[in-house]
Structure 1
Amino acid sequence: MTQAAPNAARLSIGEVLDELRADFPDVSISKIRYLETEGLVEPERTPAGYRKFSRADVERLHLVLRVQRDTYWPLKVIRQKLDDLDHGIVGADDEGVLQVPRVIMSSDGLPSAETFTGGPHEMRFRRAELLQASGIESDLLAEAEQYGLIAPSQETYSESDVVIAKTLGDLAGFGLGPRHLRAFRTAADREVGIVEQIVEPLRRRRDVGAAASADETAHHVASLSVVLHSMLVKNGLRRRG
């Protein structure tokens, strides 16, 4: 069987131009070269110096040209948005609006194992973006960080941090500030400790599926612990009612 050449999936600049012209009739080879010069796309080069574009390069050019056409953003802003995308940091969309992450719940409205799963494609937020997405003020975020309710990683925040921030904003409307909610942080740490006691023996196993099995177990046990907590609070309120 004949193997495909390593560059079989790579396109020349002329082939890229033909693809782009279907949506952007005014695009030219000089325009593509200019976008490369500006660092918005980085095609490979053959030993002879010819450009070879991957499918990801073509999609990137589509994105740049669409944003230029639809938003008139300067290249500096587009370059920053692409950098955010590359690093998993979500920015505002073309309308300047951020999508607020939702907690994944089961059909009965309680946390499920999927609530606790993450992944390499989880959105990351800068400080200003978290404030915009959650609707809280900077002072409340600073207080939440002070009391350990929100903890940024490398100056960015997770989807869960956004949901926590929004929840803190809602609770603030009832006069509950982060200093009143430290017990929740302590209780959460205790629950994490219980989960870790269960899954640690699984993590120490040497079989191929040990890590995946440990993660799956952790997610299920965590969901069960939160459901138990929710129902205990529900029953407690019922008894007081």
Structure 2
Amino acid sequence: MSIGEVLAQLRVDFPDVTISKLRFLEAEGLVEPQRTAAGYRKYSWDDVSRLQFVLAAQRDQYLPLRVIREQLAERDAGASSGRQRPALVAVGPGGEVPGRAVPEQPVESSELRLGRVDLVARSGIAESTLVELERLGVVVSDPPGWYDGDALIIARAVAGLAAYGLEPRHLRGYRTAADREVGLFAQLVAPLARQSDPAAKARAAETVRELAALSQQLHAALVRVGLRSTLGR
């Protein structure tokens, strides 16, 4: 299969996957598609199975690539014992699967652009709440008057918290804690981000994703532990 055909297969279960993501996983040695004489990638069903394994481990378990690589090595060592191959289906020349809707091309959160009215409408927050969030630095418009996908995620989370009685003023601590993490993680990612090599920049972006996922896991676990006494557990 071509990389476009593989992308169509994977997007059924992983709608956010992109071609650049597949190239990155190849650069990291997690999958090794064959090449034609002209240099085009050709993937086997085994390659697709490996990609499904990697993407599921990242999405469902937030595993870093180092751990996934180790698990793949163990998986390969016992490859002959019961590995299941994905069901074969026909794939069209453009990567589409007949009879199956093709997911929309995902838009990176930094690429989405929403006006103020759209942000309020899609998030469910009040205009006055948005004003307060901007004053606290929780939501930032960039460029002025336009908001990206992360601003929408933040606004929706605020709307959800508001349903439980939390007000924007309660969120100042979130902003402070996030700024501390940004400073810490930036030191880890900066050496890669400064390189001109596209592969290095891809690794920097993947590192940020992994750090953010691990941070979310840590935060959620600490909150659960802290509330055990309140729940009487």
What TM-score, normalized by structure 1, do the two folds share? 0.48
- Equivalent residues of 1:112, 1:223 under 8 A apart: no
How many equivalent residue pairs?
133
Aligned counterpart for 1:106 among listed residues 50, 56, 59: 59
Partner in structure 2 of residue 143 of structure 1: 132
Distance 2:120 2:64 in 1: 27
In 2 relative to 1, CA 112–201 (structure 1 residues): closer, same or farther, beyond 3 Å? Answer: closer
Distance 2:148 2:131 in 1: 16
In 2 relative to 1, CA 130–215 (structure 1 residues): closer, same or farther, beyond 3 Å? Answer: same
In 2 relative to 1, CA 112–138 (structure 1 residues): closer, same or farther, beyond 3 Å? Answer: farther
One-letter amino acid of the counterpart of residue 204, structure 2: A
- Equivalent residues of 2:109, 2:149 under 8 A apart: no
One-letter amino acid of the counterpart of residue 200, structure 1: A
Partner in structure 1 of residue 221 of structure 2: 231
The Cα shift of 1:144 comes to 0.7
Q: Structure 1 residue 162 and structure 2 residue 152: aligned? A: yes
The Cα shift of 1:131 comes to 0.9
Distance 1:161 1:121 in 2: 9
Distance 1:120 1:106 in 2: 17
Distance 2:162 2:109 in 1: 32
- Equivalent residues of 2:193, 2:204 under 8 A apart: yes
Distance 1:208 1:150 in 2: 30
The Cα shift of 1:206 comes to 5.6
Distance 2:113 2:179 in 1: 23
Q: What are the equivalent positions in structure 2 for 1:25-104 lying under 5 Å apart? A: none
Q: Which runs of 5+ in 1 are unaligned?
A: 1-104
In 2 relative to 1, CA 166–223 (structure 1 residues): closer, same or farther, beyond 3 Å? Answer: same
Q: Structure 1 residue 126 and structure 2 residue 79: aligned? A: no
The Cα shift of 1:177 comes to 1.3
Distance 1:138 1:225 in 2: 30
The Cα shift of 1:204 comes to 3.8
In 2 relative to 1, CA 157–216 (structure 1 residues): closer, same or farther, beyond 3 Å? Answer: same
Identity over aligned residues, as a percent? Answer: 40
The Cα shift of 1:121 comes to 8.1
One-letter amino acid of the counterpart of residue 203, structure 2: S
- Equivalent residues of 2:110, 2:149 under 8 A apart: no
Distance 1:144 1:161 in 2: 10
| Higher gyration radius (CA) | 1
The Cα shift of 1:123 comes to 2.3
SS at match of 1:200: helix
In 2 relative to 1, CA 120–224 (structure 1 residues): closer, same or farther, beyond 3 Å? Answer: closer
One-letter amino acid of the counterpart of residue 229, structure 1: H
Name the stretch that deviates more: 164-173 or 118-127: 118-127
SS at match of 1:107: helix
Q: Which runs of 5+ in 2 are unaligned?
A: 1-57, 66-105
Highest relative contact order (Cα 8 Å, sep 6+), 1 or 2? 2
One-letter amino acid of the counterpart of residue 59, structure 2: S
- Equivalent residues of 1:111, 1:226 under 8 A apart: no
Q: What are the equivalent positions in structure 2 for 1:193-208 lying under 5 Å apart? A: 193-205=183-195, 207=197
- The alignment's C-alpha RMSD in Å is 2.9
In 2 relative to 1, CA 201–145 (structure 1 residues): closer, same or farther, beyond 3 Å? Answer: same
The Cα shift of 1:199 comes to 1.1
One-letter amino acid of the counterpart of residue 112, structure 2: M
Q: Structure 1 residue 179 and structure 2 residue 132: aligned? A: no
What TM-score, normalized by structure 2, do the two folds share? 0.50
Distance 2:135 2:110 in 1: 28
